[in-house]
């Protein structure tokens, strides 16, 4: 599971999601990429599921770049606990994703295989996405 090795504070506030991304809106490394059309929070487990799916489709012949990292902790209290008594413990880690950001980039032998792999991987994400080509 993806998570930071060390953070300055154990727990953070949620904050707000940006509506439009200003950085990483074009392909940097690969020839095909997966771009988000909505803003949301993506968990480390979802990112790992996408990475595994792309690797299986490419049969480890291509290269993958992941442009997001889950660095925001999400806390939750155990079920059937009364209100009060402080904030819950860290449950999982998320990455804030704004609309228009390139999430994954791939480079490989055939563009058809890359597009097929990204279409399959997009089903693992909770947002609408778009496949970008160079």
pLDDT, tens digit, 9 for 90 and up, residues 85-95: 999 999 999 99
Mean pLDDT of the chain: 93
32: which residues sit within 8 A by CB, 6+ positions away?
Answer: 105, 106, 107, 111, 114, 115, 118, 131, 132, 133, 134
Sorted by where each starts, the structural domains of the chain and their CATH numbers stand as 32-74+90-133 (3.90.1170.10)
pLDDT, tens digit, 9 for 90 and up, residues 8-40: 999 999 899 888 888 889 999 999 999 999 999
pTM of structure: 0.92
Is residue 105 within 8 A of residue 67, CB to CB? The reply is yes
Which spans in the chain are helix H? 44-58, 111-122
What is the distance between the alpha carbons of residues 31 and 106, in angstroms, rounded to a whole number? 6
């Amino acid at each position: 599971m993806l998570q930071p090795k060390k953070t300055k504070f154990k727990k953070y506030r949620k904050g707000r999601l940006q509506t439009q991304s200003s950085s990483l809106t074009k392909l940097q490394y690969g020839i095909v990429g997966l771009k988000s059309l909505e803003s949301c929070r993506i968990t480390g487990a979802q990112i790992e599921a996408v990475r595994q799916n792309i690797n299986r489709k490419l049969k480890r012949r291509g290269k993958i770049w992941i442009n997001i990292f889950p660095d925001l902790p999400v806390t939750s209290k155990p079920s059937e606990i009364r209100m009060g008594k402080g904030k819950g413990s860290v449950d999982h880690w998320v990455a804030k994703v704004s609309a228009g950001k390139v999430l994954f980039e791939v480079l490989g032998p055939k563009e058809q295989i890359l597009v097929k792999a990204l279409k399959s991987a997009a089903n693992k994400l909770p947002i609408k996405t778009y496949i970008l080509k160079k």
